[in-house]
Amino acid sequence: MEIIEGIYKRKSIRKFKNEPVKREDIIECLKAACQAPSPKHQQNWHFVVIQNKELIAQIAKVVEERHQEIAACAEDEKVQEKFMKLMKYYTLFKNAPVLVVVYAKPYFMIEEKILKSNKAKQEIIEALKSTQSAAQAIGAAVENFLLTAMQLGYGTCYMTGPAHAKKEVENLIGTVSEEYELMSMIAMGVPVEELPAKPERLELEQVVDFID
């Protein structure tokens, strides 16, 4: 499949068949992820691949519990109800044969070190860090993973919502390294046949400006 064709065909898959995913295919996706562009070549990503159904169920449970805790904080019942409706999207990975938990380590910016040593104002440093280079690297790596998985015949769903329970999830998985922090998750499996259409995207005119 051509890259451009794959970009247009890719969509989030939230229902999977009860079929295993080949280890070699997962590795192929991870290899592609690690070829993503990386600011200052820091390659700040780390992936934990989980196929243990019991552990996946435990992760879904702590995400659900955290979701309920946050919902209980809402004073407006309509807001609480709206948030609770998102639960099924935050825990859809519980029925996926593969769950990939994506971590990132802090992104080192020499510019920040220089500015701090010169006692620059905090607002200047915050403006520098607002590009969120660490997160951008993770997003690029995940996109490579998703496109490769689709080419190999698998469906995926990229999720950041479950990260509201990141500490609980990290405790279940065990420490990857103290410097790494959970960023997102990828549910992966063979998609079911009956799937909804890909949602429409905003028109180009709404998101693009040309300066000639």
**Where are the chain's structural domains?**
3-207
pLDDT at 200 > cutoff 80? yes
pLDDT at 97 > cutoff 70? yes
- Cβ contact 96:13 at 8 Å: no
Alpha carbons 127 and 181: distance in angstroms, whole number: 22
Mean pLDDT, range 160-174, rounded to an integer:
93
Alpha carbons 138 and 101: distance in angstroms, whole number: 11
Residues 6+ apart with CB under 8 A from 29: 145, 148, 149, 152, 188
What does the block give as tokens for 190? 């063979």
pLDDT at 208 > cutoff 70? yes
pLDDT at 193 > cutoff 80? yes
| pLDDT score recorded for residue 141 | 97
pLDDT at 8 > cutoff 80? yes
Other Cβ atoms within 10 Å of 107 Cβ, number: 20
Q: For residue 50, list its beta bridge partners.
A: 99
pLDDT at 162 > cutoff 90? yes
DSSP result, 111-159: HHHHHHHTT--HHHHHHHHTT-HHHHHHHHHHHHHHHHHHHTT-EEEEE
- Mean pLDDT score of the chain, rounded to an integer? 92
What does the block give as tokens for 182? 């959970």
Mean pLDDT, range 113-122, rounded to an integer:
80
Secondary-structure breakdown of the chain: helix, strand, coil percentages, each rounded to the nearest 5: 50, 15, 35
pLDDT at 1 > cutoff 70? no
Mean pLDDT, range 53-63, rounded to an integer:
97
CATH code of domain 3-207: 3.40.109.10
Mean pLDDT, range 22-32, rounded to an integer:
98
Position 5, amino acid: E
Q: Dihedrals φ, ψ of 170, to 5°?
A: -60, -40
